Amino acid sequence: MSAITVNKKVCLLGDFAVGKTSLVRRFVYDRFEDKYLSTIGVKVSRKTVVAPAAGRVIDLAMILWDLAGSEEVDKYRESYMRGAAGAVLVCDLSRPETFDHLPVYVDEFLVVNPQSQIILAANKSDLTEALRLAPNQIESYAGSLSIPYFLTSAKTGDMVEQLFRQLGRLLLAGDLAT
């Protein structure tokens, strides 16, 4: 079994300050400064996971495009989404409006990339007292889209690795299916 490298483009989608950049900063290889997000509206980083697929070990490099979640760059977002094999939807468990906005991102993303894989990260699970979103709300939304979801904490690292590993598996499974 020889390891081969596969690269996939993945977009991080979600409102401002939901923790996308924190997910990237702590759990992902990050080379560029955050200023790119406010200037051109995107910052590229990499998350590598090792996953078995079809009897081979695959080094999957997810090239993560962290897209700025603000209205100023909305018009560029579509170009940045082009060619993505997957997306991580991020919302903030302490701010229900960030959850309400998710369908906008999903619709936009699926129009550009109909054959892609999506995963949902409900972030800031460490703020137990401030939680205003019930996990069953997340669950029912994820269920309606038939996508997996994780209650993550970029602060403690809870479920972040699992999130990316699951996405990796989905991306490679998508390849095998085609």
Partner 1 sequence: MPNHGHAGSHQDQVIGDQISGSASSLDNLRQILFHEQIEKIEDVEAGLEELERRINDERALVKMIAPVLGEAIRLKIREARDELIEALYPIIGQVVQRAVTEAVRDLARTLDTQVKRSFDFRLAWWRLRARISGASEAQIRLREMLPFTITDILLIHRETGLLLCHLRSDQSVATDTDLISGMLTAIRDFSQDTLGSVDQEGVGEIMHGNQRILMETALYTYLAVIVDGIEPAGFRAEMRERLMEIEHNYADEIRGYQGDSQTLTGVEEPLRTLMSASAGQKLSEGQKRVLAGAAGALLVVLVVSCLAISWVWRLGAASAERRAAAIPPSATMTSVPTETRTPLPSPTPSPKATVTYTPTAIPSATVTARPAPVVGVMIGNVWLRSAPSYDAARVGVILNTGDQVEILSRSGEWIYVRRISAGQIEVTGWLPARWIVAPTLLTTPGAQP
Query: For residue 116, what are the CA distances in angstroms to 19, 53, 73, 154, 175?
Result: 22, 18, 22, 24, 10
User: Of 153 and 166, which has the nearer Cβ to partner 1?
Assistant: 166
75 counts as binding partner 1 under rule CB under 8 A: yes
Taking each continuous run of H as one helix and of E as one strand, the counts in the chain are 7, 6
Burial-class residue 25 by CB neighbours within 10 Å (0-12, 13-18, 19+): middle
Shortest reach from residue 42's CB to partner 1, in Å? 5
83 counts as binding partner 1 under rule CB under 8 A: yes
56 counts as binding partner 1 under rule CB under 8 A: no
Q: How many other C-beta atoms are found inside a 10 Å radius of the C-beta of residue 74?
A: 14
Shortest reach from residue 79's CB to partner 1, in Å? 4
- Of 131, 123, 106, nearest in space to 159 by CA: 123
5 counts as binding partner 1 under rule CB under 8 A: yes
Given a contact cutoff of 8 angstroms between Cβ atoms, the answer to whether 65 and 42 are in contact is yes
What is the footprint of partner 1 within residues 14-43 (CB under 8 A)?
29, 31-32, 36, 40-43
Binding residue for partner 1 (CB under 8 A) from 13, 23, 68, 85?
85
What is the binding site for partner 1 (CB under 8 A)?
A: 4-9, 29, 31-32, 36, 40-46, 61, 63, 65, 75-76, 79-80, 82-85, 175, 178
